[in-house]
Amino acid sequence: MDPNNATSMHSHCVDITMEVHQVVPPPYKSTLHKFKARLKETFFPDDPLRQFQGQSLNRKLILGAQYVFPILQWGPNYTLKLFKSDLVSGLTIASLAIPQGISYAKLANLPPIVGLYSSFVPPLVYAVLGSSRDLAVGPVSIASLVMGSMLRQEVSPTLDPILFLQLAFTSTFFAGLFQASLGILRLGFIIDFLSKAILIGFMAGAAIIVSLQQLKSLLGITHFTNQMGLVPVMTGAPLVSVIISTLLVFAIKGQKHGISVIGKLQEGINPPSWNMLRFHGTYLGLVMKTGLITGILSLTEGIAVGRTFAALRNYKVDGNKEMIAIGFMNVIGSSTSCYVTTGAFSRSAVNNNAGAKTAVSNIVMSVTVMVTLLFVMPLFQYTPNVVLGAIIVTAVIGLIDIPAALQIWRIDKFDFIVMLVAFFGVIFISVQLGLAIAVGLSTFKILLQITRPKIVMLGKIPGTDIYRNLDQYKEAERIPGFLILSIEAPINFANITYLNERTLRWIEEEEDNIKEHSNLRFIILEMSAVSAIDTSGISLFRELKSTLEKKGVELVLVNPLAEVIEKLKKADKDNDFIRADNLFLTVGEAVASLSSAMKSQSSTMTEGAQTIVAHY
């Protein structure tokens, strides 16, 4: 105790507390029990069956039906007041859905009408199965772009439009199948591997590709008339620009002056398309790959949108259930002339802003699109392509999120690199490879954190018995004779060699520093951050202990967690390397107890004894 240290008001507490608390293994649980608990945490972390507990059979059936069809949950309580809100928001998103549908279908190299079909059937399916109140369903730019560019690698949409359409529907089928499977198998966490950094880089890269493509077609216009000046002003309000430009072209007969227009569109609602699905032949690999990539990308957007608005309005969406809903939506869509759809971010934001209360706004949008398909379609034939191009460019330019990129640069340089890899990978290699490399790189980083875990040296914060990182807390002090290290990762086959080498290097550096060779008595390993261990990890301790014994240094473990102490005990039937007297609950207790034992021992020993002994 240092009387000169003003901050150590209560340091006498530390010195008089000689009581030592035991480290205990957790109570016995059978392997089966542990396996079941692990399984539950892995696949059912949200515990979806909890609401069924302690309910009558009847109630369980009702809850079950409501679980599968959320519409049964909110439907019976639906009121006219809610409908008024949903009607307004539904009409609002419909005004967005029509021009977006036409533009995004064009982005996917599909006939514009398919974009409208895709805003009719899928929203109805989602209204029955989905659990988000804010999600507005329809085609989205990224999935459209990716599908278009992946399919075009093997089939030309201009030379063989029917085959291209067949492949698009089949890809949509596989996307839906994959999405629903992820949900049913409760493997939804796979989409977490597309981190925010990757998505930001990827979307910016995709936006640039699309913009360049559209720019090419914009520049390809031969007669540059005065209507063009309107475009930048119009793009802010897609439906208005479509209507005005269509009327203008119609009035001035612009198509005869070289303005490229959509051309004749088929009237009527979605024709069936299950006869267009191709499950055999040369393109099966291509459609499965395209389905997988567009499926995972659209799922990521849909789930993120659902979660964002649920958090905003304080309700819960079940990720795996959402995946099943989006998956079924696409499987059914693929049989009714729709291509891949999901919860669209921009559209859902508008929906939420316009006051949507339930999925009924999706139904309103769907009905509006249906009316359009039945009666208004022929009018769109005069819509100039350049306006659609402008809508696309505006949409995708919005995907470039510079402030988010800067924020990532500030916080985490490695995430920034991953972002750049996704960005340049998508631009210069391909969508699938760019994504794969970025995911691989971020997974590699996680593995590297395990392979090269941090080990930090702890010191005592004066006037307490708190031990913290010496680098971080400059006032913390070393305790002579002790080397206190904290290992900050699970210990397993991938890092035992490193941990062994690194620990020995600490000791050597220590010996170099203090020069008196035998000054170091104890190595205390603080294990609070070692959440798991495997058989290799156990062998590390055995090896480390025997190496240290040869140097006359004793190994002490502090606060091994449940799994770790349990496995150490199992591996050590003879109690030869983890005895109670080198196992402590806190670093403070370990230091206090070992120091006093050391003192009492050295006072009873003869003068000049060389070693303070490794066991006592």
Closest CA to 590 of 21, 24, 26, 25: 21
Does 377 engage in binding with a copy of itself (CB under 8 A)?
A: no
Residue 303 tokens read as 């789930």
Q: How far is the CB of 315 from a copy of itself (least distance, A)?
A: 11
| Nearest to a copy of itself of 154, 465 (CB atom) | 465
- We find the least distance from the C-beta atom of residue 449 to a copy of itself, in angstroms, to be 6
Burial of 277 (0-12, 13-18, 19+ CB in 10 A): middle
Nearest to 130 by CA among 75, 68, 54, 45: 68
DSSP labels for 265-280?
---SSPPP-GGG---S
Asked if 518 touches a copy of itself (CB under 8 A), the answer is: no
Considering the complex, state which of residue 369 and residue 455 has its C-beta at the smaller distance from a copy of itself: 455
Does 539 participate in binding a copy of itself (rule CB under 8 A)? yes
Rounded to a whole number of angstroms, the minimum distance from the CB of residue 605 to a copy of itself is: 26
Applying CB under 8 A, among 1, 247, 446, 605 the residue interacting with a copy of itself is: 446
Verify binding: residue 593, a copy of itself, rule CB under 8 A: no
Burial class (CB in 10 A: 0-12, 13-18, 19+), 121: buried
Which is nearest to 393 in space by CA: 186, 232, 195? Answer: 232
| Interface with a copy of itself, residue 186, by CB under 8 A | no
Q: Which of 63, 237, 376, 461 binds a copy of itself (CB under 8 A)?
A: 461
Closest to 435 measured CA to CA, from 295, 308, 322, 324? 295
CB 292, CB 107: distance < 8 Å:
no
Q: How far is the CB of 400 from a copy of itself (least distance, A)?
A: 17
User: Does 528 help bind a copy of itself (rule: CB under 8 A)?
Assistant: yes
Q: Which range, of 44-52, 153-161, 275-283, 390-398, touches a copy of itself by CB under 8 A? A: 44-52
According to the binding rule CB under 8 A, does residue 547 interact with a copy of itself?
yes
**Minimum distance from residue 12 beta carbon to a copy of itself (Å):** 8
What's the CA gap between 358 and 232, in Å, rounded? Answer: 34
CA-CA distance, 445 to 438, in Å (whole number)? 11
Smallest gap from Cβ 556 to a copy of itself, in A, equals 17
Residue 41 binds to a copy of itself (criterion: CB under 8 A): yes
3-state SS class at 458: strand
Sole window of 11-19, 94-102, 132-140, 372-380 interacting with a copy of itself (rule: CB under 8 A): 11-19
Of 3, 16, 57, 58, the one binding a copy of itself (CB under 8 A) is 16
Binding mask 313-342 for a copy of itself (x = CB under 8 A): -x-x--x-----------------------
**65 vs 446 by CB, closer to a copy of itself:** 446
Least Å from the CB of residue 133 to a copy of itself: 16
**Are 146 and 294 within 8 A, CB to CB?**
yes
Q: Is 505 in the site for a copy of itself (CB under 8 A)?
A: yes
Amino acid at 221: I
Q: Is 49 in the site for a copy of itself (CB under 8 A)?
A: no
Neighbours of 518 (CB within 10 A): 14
Q: How far is the CB of 27 from a copy of itself (least distance, A)?
A: 7
Task: Count interface residues toward a copy of itself (CB under 8 A).
Answer: 97
489 belongs to the binding site for a copy of itself (CB under 8 A): yes
Q: Binding of a copy of itself at residue 534 (CB under 8 A)?
A: yes
513 vs 604, which CB is nearer to a copy of itself? 513
Amino acid at 25: P
Question: How far is residue 26's CA from residue 573's CA, in Å, rounded to a whole number?
Answer: 17
Interface pick for a copy of itself out of 299, 496, 525, 557 (rule CB under 8 A): 496
Of 265, 269, 351, 272, nearest to 308 by C-alpha is 351
Stretch that binds a copy of itself, among 115-123, 236-244, 281-289, 566-574 (CB under 8 A): 566-574
Q: Does the protein bind a copy of itself through residue 187 (CB under 8 A)?
A: no
Among 33, 49, 153, 192, the residue binding a copy of itself under the rule CB under 8 A is 192
Give yes or no for a contact between 521 and 553, defined as CB atoms under 8 angstroms apart.
Answer: yes
Of 215, 447, 514, 613, the residue at the interface with a copy of itself (CB under 8 A) is 447
By CB under 8 A, residue 450 contacts a copy of itself: yes
Two structure tokens written together for 535: 């058989």
If one asks whether residue 529 binds a copy of itself (CB under 8 A), the answer comes out as yes
**9 or 514: CB nearest a copy of itself:** 9
Contact predicate 195/417, CB 8 Å: no
Hey, how many other C-beta atoms are within 10 angstroms of the C-beta on 39? 10
51, two tokens: 């609401």
Query: Closest distance between a copy of itself and the C-beta of residue 193, in Å?
Result: 6
- The SS3 call for residue 459 is strand
- Using DSSP's 3-state secondary structure scheme, residue 396 falls into helix
Q: How far apart are CA 35 and CA 43, in angstroms?
A: 12
10 is a contact residue toward a copy of itself (CB under 8 A):
yes
First to last CA, the chain: 26
- Rounded to a whole number of angstroms, the minimum distance from the CB of residue 478 to a copy of itself is 17
Q: Are 218 and 394 in contact (CB under 8 A)?
A: no
Please say whether the beta carbons of 328 and 342 come within 8 A: no
| Number of Cα atoms under 13 Å in the Cβ half of residue 257 | 15
| Interface positions, 395-434, toward a copy of itself (CB under 8 A) | 407-408, 410-415
Q: What does the alpha-carbon distance between residue 456 and residue 408 come to, in Å, rounded to a whole number?
A: 26
Stretches 7-15, 157-165, 323-331, 607-615: which one binds a copy of itself (CB under 8 A)? Answer: 7-15
How far apart CA 250 and CA 237 sit, in angstroms, is 20
Rule CB under 8 A: say whether 436 interacts with a copy of itself.
no
Instruction: Name which position in 3, 27, 281, 285 contacts a copy of itself (CB under 8 A).
Output: 27
Looking at beta carbons only, is 59 or 316 nearer to a copy of itself? 316
612 binds a copy of itself per the rule CB under 8 A: no
Residue 24 binds a copy of itself (CB under 8 A): yes
Cβ 525 vs Cβ 553: under 8 Å: no
Residue in this structure with the two tokens 């099966």, named with its chain if needed: 284
